[in-house]
Chains A and B, each alone.
Chain A
């Protein structure tokens, strides 16, 4: 009955993280879009000597086949965004549906679903993705995205289930039922809007996981085949020359980390903007 909740230590100022996130993600999106129409060099052509260090003509140097490395990174941005968005979209679609079903289901079905999800989550995301890729004999960007989406869906489903159950015990759900609102209406009007802030932050986290997992798949040779210059493949190719030409490992690494951090900061900031209870709290 005390108002102490409202007096908890002040919330962090989110506008800064929003701006940094916006700039980082915006940069990657801009570069990815630009790469569709223009790159400094033809990504597949030999544009200079092998393993040249960064210079004015080759901003990030060249790789061991003499291709412009900055061009490769630009294309990598595009692939990373496609993989991240695609995998999260698939994971969200499957995961939210399953989790919602479990939350509304009878005790028995819920227990069965929860146990299955727990087992799935016990497997590392990457391992599941590798299994799915292995099962779909040809390695392609599409199968990698599908594999990652399926692997992520178990985590999304479990989170959705827990969050939805917490909302379902609230009086406003009972009030909705006595107001004649159908189950579908309750899901879309009450449950989803109330679990969305937590889910969306989690999606950002998983976007990062997916991008990193795709890089790992590519690094292991299970990702999108050449000429898709995924950052993971760039890292793999740089492996042999990491001491002589460290830029080959550093540049895709920076690109990867900046995108993952950017997406997370952006999601944090957006959550607070979209939340009426935070926006107007004094």
Chain B
């Protein structure tokens, strides 16, 4: 069953520059999809559309039966509860003046989710591999990897169905990166994941399906194993060949 479907979506900031061009995509419940593209591919714009931060110029995005409408407050409240995000830069995605309880508890507070907020936040921290005792501490006291774990805890605290990650590991060091990928992989077993990245290696390690975007268009989509083994589009081949590998 399709959780979110993107139907013939186009987006342009100005009339002459089309960022997304007739993009259609079905996100099945339980899938883990890698949206792969380079700068100018429109992957970040697609993510913003999925988050309801911007409206498509043409086409529509459906969530279950309803159409995603950023202007509809009641709908968005439910949508935000089901769809959460992790961003690229763990140094800019955490408010430096909020403590961990405030940061991770924000969706609970803002979406009016009932329950013991403190307990829910502690549970979220534990499930991303952090100590529950850090509630009173501030972002600058943590390393990049720990910050990204806090950001992931914020995204899962409301128990969403869909987790959207925007280059969520590319700002991290290699040894941290692999641990966060493992964490996301574990989470992806319980929810639907859309992972936006330019890094095919990370996507290959994390996602079952890959969608390749080039200049606002989907050039290839399918099962990860199939695309890696037998890329059809020349751009996919270039992308694959460009990834630096370890010497044998």
Chain A residues near B (Cβ < 8 Å): 170-172, 174-182, 185, 189-190, 193-194, 275-277, 280-281
Contact = CB atoms under 8 A, between A and B. Distances in A.
B98 interface: yes
Contacts of A170: 92-93
A88 to B, nearest CB: 22
B182 to A, nearest CB: 23
Contacts of A193: 95, 97-98
Task: Assign chain B's interface to a size class.
Answer: 20 to 34
A178 B51 contact: yes
A179 B88 contact: no
A277 B111 CA distance: 28
Interface in B65-115: 76-77, 80-81, 83-85, 87-89, 92-99, 102, 106-107, 109-111
B134 interface: no
> Top 10 A-B pairs ranked by shortest CB distance?
A171-B93, A179-B107, A181-B110, A180-B110, A180-B80, A180-B111, A171-B92, A193-B97, A172-B95, A276-B138
A180 B109 CA distance: 9
A281 B107 CA distance: 28
A280 B142 CA distance: 12
B156 to A, nearest CB: 12
Contacts of A190: 95, 97-98
Q: Which of A172, A177, A189, A275 has the most CB of B within 10 A?
A: A172
B184 to A, nearest CB: 17
B85 to A, nearest CB: 5
A175 B81 contact: no
Contact of A179 (B53, B94, B97, B111): B111
Contacts of B140: 276-277, 280-281
A180 B107 contact: yes
B110 A182 contact: yes
Q: Which of B88, B89, B106, B141 has the most CB of A within 10 A?
A: B106
**Do most interface residues of chain A lie in helix, strand or loop, or is the interface mixed?**
helix
B98 A189 contact: yes
A177 B53 contact: yes
B55 interface: no
Given A171-B92, A172-B95, A277-B138, A179 B106 contact: yes
B95 A179 contact: no
Given A172-B93, A180-B81, A180-B107, 4 more contacts: A170-B93, A171-B93, A179-B154, A181-B110
B119 to A, nearest CB: 18
Contact of A194 (B81, B97, B110): B97
B213 interface: no
Contact of B96 (A174, A181, A182, A194): A194
Contacts of A194: 95-97
Contacts of B81: 180
Contact of B92 (A172, A182, A276, A280): A172
Nearest to B78: A180
